[in-house]
Structure 1
Amino acid sequence: MFKDNHLLKNLKIATKLNVLLTVIAVITVFLSGGVLSLILSHNAEGVVTDKALVLMETMSAVRNYTSTRVNPELASRLETDYQFLPQTVPAYSAREVFEYFREQGGYKDFFYKEATLNPTNLRDKADEFEAKIVEKFRNDESLEQVSGFRSFNSGDIFYIARPLEVSKESCLRCHSTPDVAPKSLLTTYGRENGFNWKLHEIVGAQMILVPADAVFESAKKLQVSVTSILIVCLALAIILINFFLRFSVTTPLKKMEQLAQRISTGDLSKEFAHPYNDEMGMLAASLNRMKVSLDIAMSMLNSETE
């Protein structure tokens, strides 16, 4: 403790100020970096959410078009064709259209899934995590959307989910019971999965998924850029403060110190001139008055001696 105080006493004003400014700069960069990270991450999440919701609305439109326009045109072939026509299924159309979206640069990191509790095609089977989301929608009909992150061995995934409801009577043709299902459906997928659905029942969740790294990549780049600019600005501020300190404080003080040393040796021929009326100017005037007073006192002392 004593050594630290001794070292501090021996430091010059400029050095002390630089140490203080450096500490302030480091704290400012650290705190602002943390706050900026939160703000940019939240903003990046909002941007991705907006994109995902647009995609989800688009997929809903594709589903509706398939259900109302495509399915009626191909419905008769479901009974006569040996293989089931997946083009009649809204979920299939949505997935195929979404793959075209993924070929675009702005959506290559997005993934689409209709996670279903009891799907006809097991490819759409909801896993344990997705099943909990579906149950959340089933238990709270007022809930329109959920989002968050889930972890995989390959990394975190950001997801947005909306309830998938049996909204049209026509859906039950393939999902009510095996007895009324098209023959080609039973031939292709069997009689075990995708049945016993009910009108207005929530059977799954429409989900958009994005790797978390893709969500925050742009935010990280922007944070680095802003932090770099902040560091440069703080460095320039420290340089300017040092220049001002040298011009207005340390250089005048050094000149005063030199004048005081000359006065202490009896040289009263010089005066300290400071052109500004700031604190340094007031100190210079006081030093000059002290010199004059000392000169008068020395003259009086010499007169009495003679």
Structure 2
Amino acid sequence: MQTLLKFKIMKLKNLSLNTKFTLSISLIIFAFCVIFSFLIYYHLKQKVIEDANEKTRIIITQIDALGNYVKEELRPAIFKLLHETGKKDEFIVEGMSTTHVRLSVMKRFNNKIGNYTYKRVSLEPINPLHKADALHAKLIDYFQRNPDKESWSGIVKSESQELLIMAKPIVVEKGCLICHGKIKDAPKALLKMFPREQDFKWKEGEIMGVESVSLPIASTLGEIKGVAISTFLFGVVSLIFLFVALQGAFWSFVIKPLKRLSSLFRGIVNGTEPLNQTIEAKTKDEIGELIFSFNQMSKYLFEAQEATKKYAETLQTIFEGITDPLALVNPDCTVEMTNHAYRTWMIEGRAAVFNERCDPERVDPDKFCPVHFLKKVIDTKKPFSEYWEGEDQKHYFIHLYPIFDDKGNVIKLVHYVKDITEKRKIEEQMRITEKLAAIGQLSAGLAHEINNPLGGIKLCFNNLISTEMDEETKNRHIEVINQGLTKIQEIIKQLLDFSKQSELVISLVSVNSLVENVLKLTDYLISKKGIKVIKKLSADVPEIMVDSNKIEQVFLNIVLNAIQAMDGKEGTLTVQSYLKNGYCYISFTDTGPGIPDEIFPKIFDPFFTTKPVGEGTGLGLSVSKSIVEQHNGRILVETSNRGSTFTVELPVK
């Protein structure tokens, strides 16, 4: 039922304005005629009922007056006359019975004015003909239950016809008990006419019956209905003529101009009509204002369309002129829009661009490719950037930006790719240069670390050559020589590992161990400068996936800068590691003079240095920042006149 109602509502919505207007006016006319006819019928019916009630009230009042005359004057006079003539047991019904007199008078009344029916009945009448029927029995019961009511009027249905009835209760009075009381008190003549075997049990003040005047109103109501129907039909016909006139005027003044506008709109949408055209407004009414507004809108849209075309051409030129590949990609990897660079890479079969349809839900877990990045953006609904080395041995920077629909679902992605192979080579050369510079700063310490075991080795060799010694002493000298050579070998190996060029090699590494290695490597410089080292390395820091060689280079660069900052005074280097919000933090705090405000924004710029010529390349922090960002981390810097803190932030996962 509900579906059917929705269907009908949708069908009505699809109707034309003219049809809706016709249906609306038709319904309004029909409703108006029905309501107007009903009001006429109701008014006439109420008027008839009021008139009938008034007439029945007058009749019953006159009958009551007649009854009271018989009861109060005529009957006592006849009783007196009968007593005086010695006929006290006689009873003259025609003059002494109020019921008989009332009925006789109403019978003669109906001979002149028909349709009125008078009844005076009781549940226990003297005359059986005056026995109350079902309707009057209900009226008697009503007055017995409501003794304060003096009358009742209304319309009832009796014997398949509607009657308007006015009824009054018959109350037992003292004089009534002569005939309607005990047998011994009743006139013998009355008992001969209406014999009975037992006394009536009426008491003074009780309701013994009702008298009523009724009038059939069915024919009158039928006439009223006829008047209402005639009024309805006349109203419908009259309003139909009015409706036709209104429909014609509405068509001429509203529908026809609107159809003209609608036809023009369809032509513009379909491309058969030009947008920059003007319609002549023949009137200055609302339709004329609408046509004027259409002309203004048409002009504005034409100008906006032309401007949009120019903007689109400009954007297309810019889009095509971008040297890096850029594309709009669907979630199934199909490419919707590309620039020239992207299309070139597709032709070349580059691994970093999408060349065919894919299913992100069925990605090969053993084959790391851009589809993995696309699936991650769809799942997380966040932009994604990644440095990636493809199967073609080239390095790429890949960025995917999601586009959402109204429900927040990813429907398209902006795909930007940049070939950073050459940049990586330059960065690697910069890292090597910076390593060599660091080695230069460490050279004094390295020479000291190598000279110490060499001195011991030389002494042991001299003793072995020039001194006679037993076998045990000789073995101890040989052991010292081996230990010294091993130590020199470890120092040289550590130096070679640090300085050699290497690709990014990710492995599970303890960050705390990397810090310890760097502090060992710089131990001579730190001791020589009189710097105190405080280590606060948290045991809760887990092993993380990093390139140990490159992260070690980052820590070394920061430590060497801290030593340089505290040069000339005894300072303190505090090294701390800790976990926070899924990230590992390694901070290096010195007690130097801090970084001046004017050079603070430049500290990560390549080749920027405050060291004297020959003591620094200006690549340390720049290379360190590049390495950390390659690991999806950050370098945070805080500085004041009490020192500086460099914090390396690396993701645990």
TM-score (norm: length of structure 1): 0.73
Q: Is the 8 A contact 1:259 1:272 kept in 2?
A: no
Paired with 2:211 and 2:27, the residues of 1 have a C-alpha distance of 51
Q: Is the 8 A contact 1:111 1:210 kept in 2?
A: yes
CA separation of 1:274/1:183 partners in 2, compared to 1, >3 Å: closer, same or farther?
same
Which amino acid is 1:208 matched to?
Answer: V
Aligned twin of 1:238? 243
2:102 to 94, 100, 105: 94
Q: CA deviation at 1:115?
A: 1.7
Paired with 1:27 and 1:127, the residues of 2 have a C-alpha distance of 44
Q: CA deviation at 1:281?
A: 0.8
Q: CA deviation at 1:54?
A: 1.7
Paired with 1:129 and 1:93, the residues of 2 have a C-alpha distance of 23
- Matched length: 293
Residue 207 of structure 2 is aligned to residue 202 of structure 1: yes
Aligned twin of 2:123? 117
Q: CA deviation at 1:61?
A: 0.9
Q: CA deviation at 1:113?
A: 0.6
CA separation of 1:239/1:104 partners in 2, compared to 1, >3 Å: closer, same or farther?
farther
2:146 to 140, 143, 152: 140
2:292 to 281, 285, 292: 285
Residue 75 of structure 2 is aligned to residue 68 of structure 1: no
Paired with 2:151 and 2:233, the residues of 1 have a C-alpha distance of 38
Q: CA deviation at 1:207?
A: 1.3
Structure 2 residues not aligned, in runs of 5+: 304-653
Q: CA deviation at 1:37?
A: 5.3
Q: Is the 8 A contact 2:154 2:164 kept in 1?
A: yes
2:18 to 11, 14, 18: 14
CA separation of 1:193/1:57 partners in 2, compared to 1, >3 Å: closer, same or farther?
farther
Q: Is the 8 A contact 1:82 1:187 kept in 2?
A: no
| Structure number having the greater helix percentage | 1
Question: Secondary structure of 2:25's match?
Answer: helix
Q: CA deviation at 1:270?
A: 9.1
CA separation of 1:160/1:94 partners in 2, compared to 1, >3 Å: closer, same or farther?
same
Aligned twin of 1:179? 184
Q: CA deviation at 1:98?
A: 2.0
Paired with 2:260 and 2:296, the residues of 1 have a C-alpha distance of 16
CA separation of 1:47/1:192 partners in 2, compared to 1, >3 Å: closer, same or farther?
farther
Question: Secondary structure of 1:174's match?
Answer: helix
Q: Is the 8 A contact 1:120 1:194 kept in 2?
A: no
Mapping of 1:137-286 within 5 angstroms? Answer: 137-167=143-173, 169=175, 171-192=176-197, 195-214=200-219, 216-232=221-237, 234-253=239-258, 272-278=280-286, 280-286=287-293
Q: Is the 8 A contact 1:259 1:271 kept in 2?
A: no
Question: Secondary structure of 1:112's match?
Answer: strand
Mapping of 1:18-97 within 5 angstroms? Answer: 18-30=22-34, 41-75=45-79, 76=81, 79=87, 84-97=92-105
Paired with 1:150 and 1:293, the residues of 2 have a C-alpha distance of 76
Q: Is the 8 A contact 1:119 1:194 kept in 2?
A: no
Which amino acid is 1:137 matched to?
Answer: F
Instruction: Report Cα offsets for 1:174-209 as digits up to 9, x if no partner.
Output: 333333333332222223589554443321111122
Q: CA deviation at 1:142?
A: 0.9
Question: Secondary structure of 1:275's match?
Answer: coil
Q: Is the 8 A contact 1:174 1:180 kept in 2?
A: yes
Question: Secondary structure of 2:184's match?
Answer: coil
| Structure number having the greater strand percentage | 2
Q: Is the 8 A contact 1:138 1:202 kept in 2?
A: yes
Paired with 1:194 and 1:221, the residues of 2 have a C-alpha distance of 55
CA separation of 1:114/1:160 partners in 2, compared to 1, >3 Å: closer, same or farther?
same
Paired with 1:220 and 1:283, the residues of 2 have a C-alpha distance of 49
Q: Is the 8 A contact 1:273 1:284 kept in 2?
A: yes
Q: Is the 8 A contact 1:45 1:215 kept in 2?
A: no
Paired with 2:145 and 2:291, the residues of 1 have a C-alpha distance of 82
Deviates more, 1:122-131 or 1:132-141: 132-141
Paired with 1:167 and 1:82, the residues of 2 have a C-alpha distance of 22
Which amino acid is 2:21 matched to?
Answer: L
Paired with 2:11 and 2:147, the residues of 1 have a C-alpha distance of 70
Paired with 2:210 and 2:199, the residues of 1 have a C-alpha distance of 15
Q: CA deviation at 1:245?
A: 0.4
Q: Is the 8 A contact 2:41 2:227 kept in 1?
A: no
Paired with 2:222 and 2:9, the residues of 1 have a C-alpha distance of 47
Paired with 1:71 and 1:15, the residues of 2 have a C-alpha distance of 81
Larger radius of gyration: 2
* Higher relative contact order (Cα pairs below 8 Å, separated by 6+ residues): 1
Paired with 1:194 and 1:132, the residues of 2 have a C-alpha distance of 24
Q: CA deviation at 1:226?
A: 4.2
Q: CA deviation at 1:250?
A: 2.3
Instruction: Report Cα offsets for 1:64-89 as digits up to 9, x if no partner.
Output: 12223432444445948988432322
CA separation of 1:234/1:74 partners in 2, compared to 1, >3 Å: closer, same or farther?
same
Paired with 1:93 and 1:6, the residues of 2 have a C-alpha distance of 75
CA separation of 1:290/1:202 partners in 2, compared to 1, >3 Å: closer, same or farther?
closer
Paired with 2:196 and 2:12, the residues of 1 have a C-alpha distance of 85
Q: Is the 8 A contact 1:44 1:218 kept in 2?
A: no
Which amino acid is 2:105 matched to?
Answer: V
Q: Is the 8 A contact 2:89 2:187 kept in 1?
A: no
Q: CA deviation at 1:167?
A: 3.7
CA separation of 1:201/1:293 partners in 2, compared to 1, >3 Å: closer, same or farther?
closer
Paired with 1:197 and 1:24, the residues of 2 have a C-alpha distance of 63
Aligned twin of 2:314? none
Paired with 1:37 and 1:236, the residues of 2 have a C-alpha distance of 24
CA separation of 1:239/1:155 partners in 2, compared to 1, >3 Å: closer, same or farther?
same
Deviates more, 1:21-30 or 1:52-61: 21-30
Paired with 1:22 and 1:271, the residues of 2 have a C-alpha distance of 33
Q: CA deviation at 1:58?
A: 1.3
Q: Is the 8 A contact 1:165 1:201 kept in 2?
A: yes
Question: Secondary structure of 1:210's match?
Answer: strand
